């Protein structure tokens, strides 16, 4: 994602990181395109100004692969020993997953009681076809104002 899609995504991720810090909630972040580029876990909201700046300055390349970053997010949840954790996928949806991966993901979601929420960055070309297969809820980013973002996204996490 580039341009407006990337700007919307960064704004949302920075807001979520900030709320995690304020609420002392664990926060994991995976920046991805065709593979995960940056992966960090911040236990109990331990985000510094430097960490927030890293998120703000981050950039991914082109292409999308959901399997690797979703797998990475599940591993983060397992490593932290979390149950009933939430994964928030911020994407334009321009990707597919294999049937085998989808089956495994759905089984792990049930076993760990994980929810996957997708914020669909519906600026320009976008689709929700794939994310419908594994998301518990899909929120179009065009529906969010600053006030609604807190209620609709942060309120479900």
pLDDT higher than threshold 90 for residue 40:
no
pLDDT at 126 exceeding the cut of 90: no
pLDDT (average), residues 68-92: 87
Provide the whole-model pTM: 0.79
When pLDDT is averaged across residues 86-108 and rounded to a whole number, the result is 91
Between CA 97 and CA 155 the distance in angstroms is 28
Report the distance separating Cα 90 and Cα 31, nearest Å.
10
pLDDT of 124: 77
**146, 115 in Cβ contact below 8 A?**
no
pLDDT at 157 exceeding the cut of 60: no
Can you list the domains of the chain with their CATH numbers?
A: 4-156 (3.40.50.410)
User: Mean of the pLDDT values across residues 60-83?
Assistant: 85
CA gap 29, 46 in Å, rounded? 13
Q: What is the DSSP letter of 58?
A: -
Residue 61: count of CB within 10 angstroms of its CB: 10
Please report which confidence band the pLDDT of residue 155 belongs to, taking 50, 70 and 90 as the band edges.
low
Residue identified by tokens 């599940």 is 74
């Amino acid at each position: 994602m580039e341009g407006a899609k990337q700007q919307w995504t960064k704004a949302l991720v920075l807001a979520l990181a900030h709320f995690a810090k304020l609420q002392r909630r664990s926060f994991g972040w995976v920046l991805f395109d065709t593979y995960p580029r940056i992966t960090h876990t911040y236990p109990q909201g331990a985000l510094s100004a430097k960490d927030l700046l890293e998120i703000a300055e981050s950039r991914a390349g082109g292409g999308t692969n959901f399997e690797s970053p979703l797998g990475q997010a599940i591993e983060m949840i397992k490593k932290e020993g979390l149950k009933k954790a939430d994964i928030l996928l911020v994407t334009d949806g321009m990707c597919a997953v294999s049937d085998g991966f989808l089956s495994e993901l759905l089984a792990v979601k049930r076993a760990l009681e994980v929810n996957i929420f997708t914020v669909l960055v519906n600026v320009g070309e976008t689709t929700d076809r794939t994310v419908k297969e594994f998301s518990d809820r899909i929120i179009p980013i065009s529906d969010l104002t600053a006030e609604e973002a807190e209620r609709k996204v942060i309120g479900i996490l």
